[in-house]
Amino acid sequence: MNVIEARHLWKEYGDNVVLENVSLAVKAGEFITVVGTSGCGKTTFLKLLLGVETATRGDLLLDGKPLPDEPNADRGIVFQRYSVFPHLNVLENVMLGAELAASPFWGRTFGKRRRAIREQAVAMLESVGLGTALLKYPSELSGGMQQRLALAQALIKKPRILLLDEPFGALDPGIRADMHQLILSIWRQTGLTIFMITHDLKEGFYLGTRLWVFDKRRHDPQAPNRFGATITYDIPLGHTDRTTLHTIQQSLGANHD
């Protein structure tokens, strides 16, 4: 059973073709990294998965059913920035998702139910290494810690797929390595299907189980928007080799320099 399936997916804004004829199938538990130059449509593809944008033509299916055209709890997301709520402390940020489900009108819980949610949130926060920062506000956290928080916040909803939009793009290299360890251990423990967009080809190459490269197959120099991007490389990773990395680097460079 495919978790995500796309059949001849097109996305156009007027004359501007962004995605052209994307077809793919993703099995549960795959960790897909998505790379490509800026403006290559990888973010548009993420927005389609998220439900913020809808495809012009074609089908995008989640568990065999069309994706709802607005974001919902099936799809967790971590953005590069602004993923967490500045007015809630770390614990409240993670509790929010569970509280919303438990209390449709107030979105708040009290007493026994709150304690249960709190326990769950604390466990989640400890597993991402934020057990000692429960009562801090996001602005008191470093960039890496904020992303840990955003992950914990998304994970508590147990989404079908987890979308990561350049989640570590703003972090220092050392911290980034820590975050790679964290996301890998989360992926191993939960068996989540993960889509991660990155502009760092190396990161994409060594992190996931499958690499997608979004790029344009055809170019019209007179009308750069005439043709859209599609997946030009779809490589299973794990036994990666340098020649492939080099070839992809070359192809991305050659098209856009």
Partner 1 sequence: MKRLINQRPSRAAQVLLGILPFALLLLAYLWASELRLAANPNDKLLPAFSSIGEAIWSMAFEADKRSGNYLLWVDTLASLQRLGLGVLLSALMGLVIGVANGAVPLFRAGLSPLVMALSLIPPMAILPVLFIVFGLGEVSKVALITIGIAPFLIRDMQQRVLELPEEQLIKAQTLGASSWQLILRVILPQVLPRLLDAVRLSLGSAWLFLIAAEAIAATEGLGYRIFLVRRYLSMDVILPYVLWITLLAFLTDYLLRVLTRRSFPWYYNGGKP
Binding residues vs partner 1 (CB under 8 A): 50, 52, 70-73, 75-77, 79, 81-89, 96-97, 99-101, 104-108, 137-141, 146, 150, 153-154, 157, 159
Say how far residue 56 (Cα) sits from the centre of its chain.
22
Residue with Cβ nearer partner 1 (90 or 231): 90
Distance CA 160, CA 29 (A): 10
17 touches 30 (CB < 8 A)? no
Distance CA 20, CA 24 (A): 12
* Smallest distance, partner 1 to C-beta of residue 131, A: 19
* Smallest distance, partner 1 to C-beta of residue 103, A: 9
90 touches 138 (CB < 8 A)? yes
* Smallest distance, partner 1 to C-beta of residue 80, A: 8
Residue with Cβ nearer partner 1 (88 or 245): 88
* Smallest distance, partner 1 to C-beta of residue 116, A: 17
Neighbours of 182 (CB within 10 A): 18
Residue with Cβ nearer partner 1 (163 or 252): 163
Half-sphere exposure of 85 (CA within 13 A, CB side): 14
Distance CA 136, CA 127 (A): 17
* Smallest distance, partner 1 to C-beta of residue 33, A: 20
Distance CA 51, CA 144 (A): 27
Residue with Cβ nearer partner 1 (52 or 123): 52
Query: What share of residues in the chain are helix, strand, coil (percent, to 5)?
Result: 35, 25, 35
Residue with Cβ nearer partner 1 (41 or 159): 159
Residue with Cβ nearer partner 1 (11 or 216): 11
For 108-159, the DSSP string reads ---HHHHHHHHHHHHHHHHHTT-TT-TT--GGGS-HHHHHHHHHHHHHTT--
Q: Which two tokens stand for residue 162?
A: 């987890």
* Smallest distance, partner 1 to C-beta of residue 178, A: 19
Residue with Cβ nearer partner 1 (99 or 215): 99
* Smallest distance, partner 1 to C-beta of residue 55, A: 18
